[in-house]
Structure 1
Amino acid sequence: MAYKDYYDVLGVTRSASEGDIKSAYRKLAKQYHPDKNPGDDKAAGRFKEIGEAYAVLSDAEKRKLYDQYGHAGQVPPGAWSGAGPAGGGFSSADFGGVDASQFSDFFQGLFGQQGRGGFRGGGGQVNLDDLMSGMGGGRRFVQNVEGELQVTLQEAFSGSEEVIQVEGKRLTVRIPAGTRDGARLRLAGQGPGGGDVLLTIRVLEDGKFDLEGNDLTTSVDVPVDVAALGGSVRVPTMKGDVTLNIPQGTSGGRRMRLKGQGWPGKSGAGDLYVKLNLVLPTQLSAEEKQLYEQLRSLRQA
């Protein structure tokens, strides 16, 4: 499978700072967000590709591995770190008398760091039974395996179903609504030899919303006439667009609160804070220019 360079995906240089990477991601995520490109499979694919690149380059350890080994430094789907036979670790007997520490280094080099990688983004499948039998083990291992599963902010908010492959077996993973980044899911008995599959959920940053605690923050453009005279604008929420009434004389940078439109929590949903960006016209018709000049004259009188 051909992989695109993650730096090229985000349009940054290999020496880009953490801030440069985050800025590039936010810009591209806004441009290709599914809400702005409904029904566009190409844009949806690009959005996921951008998320995968950011998930690696925004993590110092993952970026170091990527810089050193490229995509080989990222664990592909099905390539797992494990807890050993029956969860108890490997002994030299398990490998025909060879020192197990050598295989520890081998697995780390082959699979990457513990649990690094993810399911989105493709990659080959590694059959642990074949691998072990090729080493002379010749028996089935009970193996607990770990991996990361990337979901969008919307999928984490609303809940979703994701399909992964473990040892060539397709598994459906149900993501509960309101799932947080770092949440752990356990698929009992679905790993090699009847072991468990342990998933860490990674919620991709969204170009439209920021999450802090149970509160979400977004921004919306407000035309100067609406800010001056009052009116309404449409505001995106995780449940769809709503109408926000703008008071007369509203200034740019003001934050308004939409109660209960934030992230779900045990004691109820948080709030959505909307930052108002005042938008001035860049081009004026002759009539509009005349009206602005009249307004200026009135203010100077």
Structure 2
Amino acid sequence: MAYKDYYEVLGVSRSASEADIKSAYRRLAKKYHPDKNAGDDSAAERFKEIGEAYAVLSDSDKRKLYDQYGHTGQVPPGGYPGGGFQGSDFGGFDPSQFSDFFQEMFGGRVGGAGGGRGGFTAPDGTPISIEDLFGGMGGAGMGGAGTGGGRRFVQNVEGELQVSLREAYEGSDEIINVDGKRLSLRVPAGTRDGSRLRLAGQGPGGGDVLLTIRVLEDGRFDLDGDDLTTSVDVPAPVAALGGEVTVQTLTGSGKLNVPAGSSGGRRMRLRGQGWPKKSGGKGDLYVRLNVTVPKDLSEEQRRLYEQLRDLG
């Protein structure tokens, strides 16, 4: 698999700040969002690639790892953390302390296609079992009895599952691959970024699969507590005289009545259109008005705007 430069994907320099990375992601996510590019497979792939790059570069630890070793996940110089592992080292080795590292190096971050958006895979998409990572050390592999009478090693597996903002809002059914097994799970409606899901006994050797949910930013909506914020374009005549505009919500669209004399930047509220609350009900959707004027005026429009200008 060819090297993928996440900085190039987002169009930022390697010294870009967190704010620069976030701004670039929002701009690109809005441009390539599937809702705006229906049926365009290349745009969908680009959107996924942008989300993948942002998931790494927006996390300081992942970014540091990426800057050091790159997308391909090659073995670090001098071996993995703690030194190279030999058969004799296994007795005192606790693989769980390196779980996050191996997830990063071998694609533990979820986001693939086809076989589900979960599991632990190599950069080329091939599923990697825990035995592949640790097998052969000290005669006992993960998820198996090993050789020479070694005991079965039970290991918890940790990973991340990426979902879109809409999927987190509505809830979604997902399939992940762990140690060659396809596992089904349900992401509850109203799930927050950083929430944890536990699949008891589904890991290698009967261990647990622990998933951290990562909610990808949408580019059109900001989530603050239980409230969402978005923006809508309002033609200048509607802002001046009042009227109705269509506002996109996470699940469709709604109508907003704009009062006469509204100015750009004004915030209006659609009650009950925000994020699901733990206590029941939903937060609100705040809509920021963006007053627009036509770039290319017809003769009649120009004449009317000139009259308005002269009256002012």
Q: Do the two structures share a fold, i.e. TM-score over 0.5?
A: yes
Q: Which residue does the alignment assign to 1:291?
A: 304
Letter in 2 for 1:224: A
1:58-116 per-residue CA deviation (whole Å, 9 max, x = no partner) reads: 111110100000124599xxxxxxxxxxxxxxxxxxx8653655676995797167999
Q: Which residue does the alignment assign to 1:182?
A: 194
Preserved CA contact (<8 Å) 2:170 2:190: yes
2:155 to 97, 121, 143: 143
2:136 to 131, 134, 137: 134
Are 1:119 and 2:121 matched, yes or no? no
Q: Which residue does the alignment assign to 1:197?
A: 209
* SS state at 1:134 partner: coil
1:240-282 per-residue CA deviation (whole Å, 9 max, x = no partner) reads: 1111111111111100000000000123100000000010222
Q: Which residue does the alignment assign to 1:282?
A: 295
1:98 to 89, 103, 107: 89
Change (3 A) 1:113 1:294: closer
* SS state at 2:22 partner: helix
1:123-166 per-residue CA deviation (whole Å, 9 max, x = no partner) reads: 34333335555122224311111111111101100111122111
Name the count of aligned residue pairs.
280
Preserved CA contact (<8 Å) 1:188 1:195: yes
CA root-mean-square deviation: 2.7
* SS state at 2:189 partner: coil
Letter in 2 for 1:40: D
Give the drift of 1:196.
0.7
Give the drift of 1:120.
1.1
The aligned runs of 1:208-247 (5 Å cut-off) are 208-247=220-259
* SS state at 1:270 partner: coil
The aligned runs of 1:244-255 (5 Å cut-off) are 244-255=256-267
Q: Which moved more, 1:163-172 or 1:208-217?
A: 163-172
Give the drift of 1:193.
0.6
Give the drift of 1:180.
0.5
Change (3 A) 1:45 1:8: same
| CA distance in structure 1 between the partners assigned to 2:67 and 2:2 by the alignment | 17
The aligned runs of 1:30-45 (5 Å cut-off) are 30-45=30-45
TM-score by length of 2: 0.82
| CA distance in structure 2 between the partners assigned to 1:3 and 1:153 by the alignment | 28
Letter in 2 for 1:37: N
| CA distance in structure 2 between the partners assigned to 1:267 and 1:115 by the alignment | 39
Q: Which residue does the alignment assign to 2:281?
A: 268
Change (3 A) 1:131 1:234: closer
Structure 1: gaps spanning 5 or more residues: 76-94
1:33-67 per-residue CA deviation (whole Å, 9 max, x = no partner) reads: 12112233332222121111001001111101000
Give the drift of 1:3.
4.7
Change (3 A) 1:4 1:98: closer
* SS state at 2:46 partner: helix
Preserved CA contact (<8 Å) 1:116 1:147: no
| CA distance in structure 2 between the partners assigned to 1:99 and 1:127 by the alignment | 18
TM-score by length of 1: 0.85
* SS state at 1:67 partner: helix
1:162-190 per-residue CA deviation (whole Å, 9 max, x = no partner) reads: 22111111112211111100110011111
| CA distance in structure 1 between the partners assigned to 2:267 and 2:197 by the alignment | 36
Identity %: 68
Q: Which residue does the alignment assign to 2:117?
A: none
| CA distance in structure 1 between the partners assigned to 2:74 and 2:159 by the alignment | 11
Change (3 A) 1:110 1:276: closer
Q: Which residue does the alignment assign to 1:91?
A: none
* SS state at 1:201 partner: strand
| CA distance in structure 2 between the partners assigned to 1:109 and 1:285 by the alignment | 60
* SS state at 2:51 partner: helix
Preserved CA contact (<8 Å) 2:154 2:204: yes
The aligned runs of 1:79-94 (5 Å cut-off) are none
Preserved CA contact (<8 Å) 2:96 2:156: no
| CA distance in structure 2 between the partners assigned to 1:105 and 1:215 by the alignment | 37
